[in-house]
Amino acid sequence: MTPDRLLPQRPFPAYAFLPGRDPHPTRDPAGHSAGNEDHPAPQDLPRPHEWPSSPDYLYGIDLYNYGYLWEAHEAWEGLWHLAKNDPDSQRADFLQGLIQCAAATLKVRMGQPRGVVALAGMGTERLARVATQRNGDYMNLDVTSFVEAFRTFAASQPEDIQARPMIVLDH
């Protein structure tokens, strides 16, 4: 079951981009986000206690949960670029882990099982490291449970993304 939207006021793109099938969202003039400046890249990295109100974080979760996997990666990437330069490496690891899990799920759609395994391994390793450092929870997510569920999903040799674990925040 798909969780409720966290940022329902922000519309989804016209399609979930699949490389090789669809026009590239930003580079192709026919792409769903070509020329779209409605949502500029984030300028500030929220502090850990502010993540529940971070539009880019929440929108990335909505995108992932609703199958917009490439778009989820893009939503989190701006935050990750800011986090890479932050002394709190947990933020960068957490965001990169989510990005890699979204990319692993996209590889399911692309029919690339080795990519699924490789990206899932890298992503869950980063997330597990954060979970260990933060007693299992970070940015309102039970990271330990998500890692276990995602590892199970990736190990099942999925052919459909519907079995992917959802990202459900603690409220």
pTM for the predicted model, two decimal places: 0.90
| Closest by CA position to 113, among listed 158, 70, 162 | 158
> Backbone phi, then psi, for 169, in 5-degree steps?
-85, 145
Give just the sign of the alpha carbon dihedral 65, 70, 75, 78: positive
Per-domain residue ranges of the chain = 49-163
Select from 1.10.3450.10, 2.40.40.20, 1.50.10.10, 1.20.140.10 the CATH code of 49-163. 1.10.3450.10
3-class SS of residue 94 = helix
Q: What residues pair up with 137 in beta bridges, in sequence order?
A: 142
**Per-residue pLDDT tens digits of the chain, which is 171 residues long:** 889 999 999 999 988 878 876 656 666 565 566 566 555 566 677 777 787 788 999 999 999 999 999 999 999 998 998 898 877 789 999 999 999 999 999 999 999 999 999 999 999 999 999 999 999 999 999 999 999 999 999 999 999 999 999 999 986
Give the largest CA-CA distance in the chain: 46
What contacts 161, CB < 8 A, 6 or more positions away? 67, 69, 105, 108, 109
